[in-house]
Amino acid sequence: MIQTILLRLPNWLGDSVMCASAFEKLKIMYPNAQFVLVGSYACEAFRREERVRAIYLDESKRAKNRLLSLYRLCKQIRTEVGQIDLSFCFSNGFFGALLLYLCRAKVRVGYAKNLRSPLLTHALTPPPLTPLHQVQKYEYLIKDFVDSIIFTSFVPLSLVRGECSKIERSHTKHIGINPGAAFGWAKCWEKEYFVEIITRFVSRGWEVYIFGDTQNLTTQSNAHIHDLSNQTSLIELIDSIGALDLFITNDSGPMHIAAALHTPTIAIFGSTDTADTCPWNEAIAREFFLPMRALLGDKNTEDKNALDSIRLDCSAPKDITTLQSLTADNLTILSKHLKCSPCKKRTCPLSHHLCMKSITPDEVFESALTILGESAQKTRTKEL
């Protein structure tokens, strides 16, 4: 019987949140199992999950002797947790697989890359089918450990909310703004554009909350603008995003939190790939990505005829990279899909940043009004 399952989560916040559906499927498959989470601060996003037995912060990368630091962490986990029956490495680094090995987990599952295969009992080749979202690539790791009905079902990203929100609810609209992104400024919409739409929201008497890195965002002093940048714990950030009427964000960890909380969202993409890490919901999954059943027949084969047969068995999804604007349920994604994007660079290699500059404040504001069920005429009247 599987009693303890260890998950080595990715270090980035957004990637950890994108593991939530795989996590949920494991909980469904193993209703009596307890979970141990290891990773960065991002593990705290799952702190309130009832079946999380323990969370361990892996800070070995910062240590002078990484191997010794990791060994000590694994020894602590073995002492406090005991036998680990099943483990999954959702991070791609060598040391993530080494952690599973040093924890002496009976079953160790991860992708066969970065010289990790000898450390794993199940080293999987990444699925060759496209298009697959990053959420699906994480789910693929659990394919052989859950039954086919659970594996092929759509399970949304989800996070447990609590009462730690910093949003003061009132009769008006509450808009969240996330102008930063951890990976680099190339992912960020122009700060002047953010300032412009904030000004428009405030002119309607709406409450605006700024999260994350302000990116030197300079706004007017106004009672309707609430600067929460660098002033929330991860738990407070989750609860605050969940309390919003609308969240406007770059491709970032908070964007995936909003998707997991089903908060109405406008996601702005430039240097990163909507076909890989766009916000995840059922409408997006069904229209733009292969269904999970497409992966059941895939045994990591390189046989082209076999792969073509799998594709034909599933309805061909639409190409998300052909749409500059799409709305699915309460989510709107804006991306110009320029020839130079997605470059996936921290800074614009061409120095013009047109992938973001081409998305105008008017586009974002009109999308916001549509999501909120408001009329643009109200704003025009006020501005005259």
Distances (CA, A) of 61 to 73, 100, 116, 157: 12, 16, 17, 28
Residue 181 has a pLDDT of 86
Cβ atoms 264, 247 nearer than 8 A: yes
Per-residue pLDDT in tens (0 to 9) along the chain, 384 residues: 899 999 999 999 999 999 999 999 999 999 999 999 999 999 999 999 999 999 999 999 999 999 999 999 999 999 999 999 999 999 999 999 999 999 999 999 999 999 999 999 999 999 999 999 999 999 999 999 999 999 999 999 999 999 999 999 889 999 999 998 887 889 999 999 999 999 999 999 999 999 987 666 777 789 999 999 999 999 999 999 999 999 999 999 999 999 999 999 999 999 999 999 999 999 999 999 999 999 986 444 445 555 555 555 556 799 999 999 999 999 999 999 999 999 999 999 999 999 999 999 999 999 999 999 986 654 443 332
Residue 183 has a pLDDT of 79
Q: Rounded to an integer, what is the distance from CA 69 to the centroid of its chain?
A: 28
Q: Which two tokens stand for residue 211?
A: 């999260």
Q: What is the DSSP letter of 318?
A: P
Whether 4-152 and 174-281+329-383 share one fold: the answer is yes
Residue 316 has a pLDDT of 79
152: which residues sit within 8 A by CB, 6+ positions away? 291, 292, 293, 296
Cα separation, 212 vs 163, whole angstroms: 20
Q: Count CB neighbours of 20 within 10 A.
A: 25
Cα separation, 326 vs 376, whole angstroms: 19
Give first-to-last CA distance, the chain, whole Å: 70
Residue 52 has a pLDDT of 98
CATH 3.30.565.10 fits 174-281+329-383, yes or no: no
Residue 160 has a pLDDT of 97
Cα separation, 356 vs 364, whole angstroms: 12
pLDDT in tens, 192-242: 999 999 999 999 999 999 998 766 677 778 999 999 999 999 999 999 999
Residue 169 has a pLDDT of 86
Name the residue ranges covered by the structural domains of the chain. 4-152, 174-281+329-383
- The secondary element (H helix, E strand) that includes residue 148 is helix 148-152
Residue 346 has a pLDDT of 92
Q: Which two tokens stand for residue 185?
A: 């400024």
Cβ atoms 184, 346 nearer than 8 A: yes
Where does 4-152 sit in CATH, by number?
3.40.50.2000
